[in-house]
């Protein structure tokens, strides 16, 4: 992350590693604040991210707090406390209910499991459905496509299933339109957003950010 930020022209005033599992990160935050940055960007999992946000919320410094992807979890808010979490936006993914069709997914999930979906539930749901669609299209897991449209059993990984997944374009799911980059198997583009903690203590897409960049949430 440090290298990517520097390549983008961001000046890094300090870079400090933290040990997971500590009871607080007071000394680390103070050390970073002393370098007079515009913001402290914490690339840590939510237990540590929550504690860092909590510390920064009680600090007299005006340095802004931003938490990275791994802090995108309800535990971030629980650990930091709502006020501290509201003072520290998270770079993450939309909550299930933030997607245009997420409301019905959220309701169905709660009806089925008796609780709301987690951060990645809608992504898992889409991933399984996309895989199932391609398995159906390929005629199984180990078939390779022939020129005439038929398939032949194959075990070297060059399967019709792999071809279908690699060629996925504009597949529609709960999380929106899905296109796969065959070079790495990743979704392109990734649905990375800025999240804010609302009055109920839940993480949702920051509407000011969404309006500023034209994000469809």
- Domains of the chain as residue ranges with CATH: 2-93+192-213 (3.40.50.2300), 102-187 (3.40.50.2300)
The span from the CA of 201 to the CA of 83, in Å, is 9
For 92-105, what is each residue's pLDDT tens digit? 999 998 998 888 99
Q: What is the DSSP string of 38-70?
A: SEEEE-S-HHHHHHHHHHHHH-S---EEEE-GG
Q: What pLDDT, in 10s, does the model give residues 180-196?
A: 999 999 999 888 999 99
The number of residues in the chain equals 217
Note the pLDDT of residue 152: 63
Query: Which pLDDT band, with edges at 50, 70 and 90, does 154 fall under?
Result: low
Chain centre to alpha carbon of residue 103 = 19
Look at residue 215 in the predicted model and tell me its pLDDT: 87
Residue 13, SS3?
A: coil
pLDDT higher than threshold 70 for residue 156:
no
Average pLDDT, the chain: 92
**Range in 13-22, 36-45, 126-135, 144-153 with the lowest mean pLDDT:** 144-153
């Amino acid at each position: 992350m440090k290298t990517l930020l520097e390549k983008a022209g961001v000046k890094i005033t300090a870079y400090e590693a933290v040990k997971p599992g500590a009871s607080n990160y007071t000394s680390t935050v103070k050390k970073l604040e002393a370098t007079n940055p515009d913001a402290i960007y914490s690339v840590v999992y939510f237990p540590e991210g929550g504690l860092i946000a909590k510390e920064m919320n009680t600090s007299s410094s005006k340095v802004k707090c931003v938490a990275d992807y791994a802090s995108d979890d309800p535990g971030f808010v629980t650990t930091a406390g709502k006020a501290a979490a509201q003072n520290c936006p998270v770079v993450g993914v939309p909550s299930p209910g933030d997607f245009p069709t997420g409301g019905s997914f959220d309701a169905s999930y709660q009806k089925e499991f008796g609780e709301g979906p987690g951060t990645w539930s809608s992504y898992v749901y889409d991933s399984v459905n996309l895989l199932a669609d391609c398995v159906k299209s390929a005629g199984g897991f180990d078939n390779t496509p022939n020129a005439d449209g038929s398939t032949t059993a194959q075990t070297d990984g060059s399967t019709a299933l792999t071809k279908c997944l690699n060629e996925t374009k504009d597949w529609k799911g709960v999380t929106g339109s899905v296109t796969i980059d065959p070079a790495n198997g990743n979704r392109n583009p990734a649905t990375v957003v800025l999240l804010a903690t609302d009055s109920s203590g839940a993480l949702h897409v920051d509407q000011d950010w969404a309006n500023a960049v034209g994000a469809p949430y």
